[in-house]
Amino acid sequence: MTETRQIVLASRPEGTPTPENFRLETVTLAEPGEGEMLVRTIWLSLDPYMRGRMNAGKSYAAPVEVGGVMEAGCVGEVIASRNTWFASGDIVQGPFGWADHAISDGVGVRKIDPNVAPIQTSLGVLGMPGITAWVGLNTIAEAKAGETIVVSAATGAVGGVVGQLAKAKGLRTVGVAGGQEKCTFAVQELGYDACLDHRATDGAGLAAQIAEAAPQGIDIYFESVGGTTLEGVLPNLNDHARIPLCGMIAWYNGKGIDTAPPLPLIWRNILTRRLRVQGFIVFDHFHRFGDFLTEVAPMVADGRLRYRETVTEGLENAPGAFLAMLEGGNFGKTLVKVGPDP
């Protein structure tokens, strides 16, 4: 019998979540049954999509129930196993939730080779955010050398990979990020041709800056934000531009919805500029994970693809780290270190 701490959804947020929406509990886990294993969490991934899971009502995935453990991708160590495919001592990545320990039946779990890259990259550049970037750029946007891409949340877990993969492919890359520090990092460390601070201006001001940074116009807008960034992008889109859409974090908490541009304006742009706006959810593309790793893992291993992490220590601090991330307080991939390295 294993005692574990876990963080549950205490109540559903109205608009911006608060610490009171979460509750830390200690429970006793049953022994792993036939086919199950006990995993000790080392790294916990915090991602914007979790905000959606806190709401009632079906989206593309079912919501977390009130009183249920918050969902998350994690990296952990198998410490007891009655599952054929996993053994004690294995390092695994899987949906173990916001908890110190979890019982897993192995569904959605994969072994991680610690020799390829630091194990927590399986939650970032070599995990869900990484393949989101790779699929969005290649499959959804069909990026081509010589085009210009604008990347929202340019230094985020997804955006940072988009910008670097696009640059490697021969595109002009323009990032948009919140704050000068992120913009400097985007250009100096991630190799963006330019990066613009959406916090220092408004939609019209950003539009003017983008016009300068993207003198040939925008062929691809990698959209995970909405809000001011989208307003700045819209007037600069070329005919036949593509907008792969995998998030809209600026609007997740309900803020800014009233002041967003009216739908007919977007509709008119889609029509007259022949835009293709395409939503995608990375889960639909996990069958391509092998192809993704084949291409991108070597780039991480030899340092061509760089990444940054914001690490918070301690499961009990996960809610605070999550709330900060929703406001852009993170830098790169947001992680919680839940337990010691193996």
Cα separation of 102 and 30, whole Å?
10
Residue 268 CB, nearest distance to a copy of itself (Å)?
A: 7
Tell me which stretch binds a copy of itself (CB under 8 A): 125-133, 143-151, 198-206, 257-265: 257-265
On the 0-12 / 13-18 / 19+ scale of CB atoms within 10 A, 59 is exposed
Convert residues 159-198 into a mask of x (bound to a copy of itself by CB under 8 A) and - (unbound).
Answer: ----------------------------------------
Q: Site size for a copy of itself, by CB under 8 A?
A: 36
Residue 211 DSSP SS3 = helix
Convert residues 283-302 into a mask of x (bound to a copy of itself by CB under 8 A) and - (unbound).
Answer: -x------------------
Among 276, 288, 329, 342, binds a copy of itself (CB under 8 A): 276
At 226, give phi and psi (nearest 5°): 75, -150
* Dihedral of the alpha carbons of 314, 317, 319, 320, in degrees to the nearest 10: -140
261 is an interface residue for a copy of itself by CB under 8 A: yes
Residue 215 CB, nearest distance to a copy of itself (Å)?
A: 18
At 43, give phi and psi (nearest 5°): -125, 140
Convert residues 10-49 into a mask of x (bound to a copy of itself by CB under 8 A) and - (unbound).
Answer: ----------------------------------------
278 is an interface residue for a copy of itself by CB under 8 A: yes
* Dihedral of the alpha carbons of 286, 138, 211, 167, in degrees to the nearest 10: 100
Pick 24 or 266: Cβ nearer a copy of itself: 266
Touching a copy of itself, residues 45-84 (CB under 8 A) = 52, 59-60
Pick 59 or 188: Cβ nearer a copy of itself: 59
On the 0-12 / 13-18 / 19+ scale of CB atoms within 10 A, 24 is middle
Segments of 280-319 assigned E as strands: 309-313
274 is an interface residue for a copy of itself by CB under 8 A: yes
275 is an interface residue for a copy of itself by CB under 8 A: yes
Among 110, 199, 268, 304, binds a copy of itself (CB under 8 A): 268
Which residues, 6+ apart, have CB-to-CB distance to 284 below 8 Å?
A: none
Touching a copy of itself, residues 217-256 (CB under 8 A) = 226, 239, 245-248, 251, 256
- Helices 159-169 and 289-301 sit at what angle, rounded to 10 degrees? 80
* Dihedral of the alpha carbons of 242, 246, 252, 255, in degrees to the nearest 10: -20
List of residues contacting a copy of itself (CB under 8 A):
52, 59-60, 226, 239, 245-248, 251, 256-258, 260-281, 284
